[in-house]
Amino acid sequence: MSQQSSRVAPRVFMSYSHDDKEHRDWVLALATRLRADGVDVCLDRWDVTLGGNLAVVS
């Protein structure tokens, strides 16, 4: 088994302000890039539903 395949992907929870569309789009682009690079990203748009339990997400 290679060293690369035995690693656990790093996990991040992204918390950010939703007050500006440009900022939300920037965060989405960053999260998408991180996910493409192998990071397990928790982003509200992908993982949290209205009224959902945040304890389940983490």
Domain boundaries, the chain: 11-43
Phi, psi at 10, each rounded to 5°: -65, 150
Whole-number Å distance between alpha carbons of 28 and 51? 21
Residue entry with tokens 């959902």: 52
Classified as helix, coil or strand, 3 is coil
Kindly report whether the global pTM for this prediction surpasses the value 0.75: no
pLDDT per position as a tens digit, 9-47: 899 988 888 889 999 999 999 999 999 999 999 888 777
pLDDT reading at 49 higher than 90: no
